[in-house]
Structure 1
Amino acid sequence: MVSIDSTGRVVLVTGGNRGIGRAIAERFVQEGYRVAVTARSGEGPEGTLTVRADVTDSAAIDAAFTEVERQLGPVEVVVANAGITKDTLLLRMSEDDFDSVVATNLGGSFRVVKRASKGMLKARFGRVILISSVVGLYGSAGQVNYASSKSALVGFARSLTRELGARNITANVVAPGFIETDMTAELDESTQAEYRKAIPAGRYGSAAEVAAAVTWLASDDSAYISGAVIPVDGGLGMGH
């Protein structure tokens, strides 16, 4: 059986100007996709189209998609990666700390995927990839808001699979563990060593390793996988 060539498919990665999102966008470019990224500031990697958008703003998301569709074509692969943290213990967590994280991480994914699904339904093809976190199912003190928003993406992907699976649209979750990014680099050495001790692989992952899992889920090789949680965490959470 000859698989359809994925080269040239249009991908949109939210928050693709830095960290894991940037690595994902770079990998898609390397593999021949036409890639757009959303960013509130800064630019995506070379070879990508950068569009300004805040994922908490439906009108901004619609405008960003319209621009991508005009320049590249309908979005066939969407990677909902944009996210924020506002870490603090539950008793100190304000309602805004909770609501803003959920509005960005979960609500942002909802807005982006809802807008993308219109074109996917018309094309009878789509790949939805939600970037969660090991924390979503493993839990983490001081991250009630973040963990809630990230675990909710599992229910989102599985419900979407039941709604759209018959239209050749898949929805999966990638759950990174501790990845070498600017955020982890800010941790002091003793904290980093403590975290590494808990990881069976004995090391942090790289953003490129997360990107490899994402691009595989976008490919034709994973066409029969939907509603799955793919851990990229060195065995820390093991997907739960």
Structure 2
Amino acid sequence: MNKGILLILVMLLSVSSLAQAKEIRFAMEATYPPFEFTDSNNQVVGFDVDLAKALCEQLQKKCSFHIQSFDSLIASLKFRRFDAAISGMDITPEREKQVLFSQPYYENAAVFVTEKGKFSSFEQLAKLKIGIQNGSTHQKYIHDNFPKQATVPYTSVQHAFIDLENGRIDAVFGDTAVINQWLVKSPEYAPLGDLVKDVNYFGRGYGIAVNRQNVELRDQLNQALDQIKVNGVYQQIHQRWFN
């Protein structure tokens, strides 16, 4: 048998065995409340965590969660270090070239946040500093559409919030749910301008990413998502974290 064909067969069998495994190893960047973060007991919790557990229960599999930096999640899937990534990850055309995504499980938009009353429009930030999470769609959106805008990359959006509070940057650009969660404890700040819903960056929503060859696992996750939406489990999880 041709060595190239044999290698392909081995790879396909390997991917199939991963999909049939009794455990799904989820990678995530756990400083992104309310989607994933560590609680006072140092346990990883959040909407994505509860959602992943519900999917595993539906599929009769175990879940495990592994903390990674956000900008390393796709690489970890490509090298099969983990089976899936669930970490507030926007489905974008560029990412779809590298990984497979489940159907969207959360509708998403982005927004700028600044000190309340300090600015009246995004244009006033043109020569100032905007904090963004490294490797995020927010970073790509700014770089693609406003290449001259000064930005400061952070490994976590929470670090950007700290620098905003300390006056080191002038605004943060991030997901509406994450920013709204932060604003509850920081009422002296407020969103600036309209929500950003560009479909090339944010409009399609969050998806669960898997290795491009792991179609079987992607399909299993989609089926489980459909089932927990029908049986009401998804709505219960959503209400727990967003109501």
Higher relative contact order (CA closer than 8 Å, sequence separation 6+): 2
Larger radius of gyration: 2
Of Structure 1 and Structure 2, the greater strand share is in 2
**TM-score, length of structure 1 as denominator length:** 0.31
- TM-score of the aligned structures, taking structure 2 as reference length: 0.30
Q: Which has the higher helix share?
A: 1
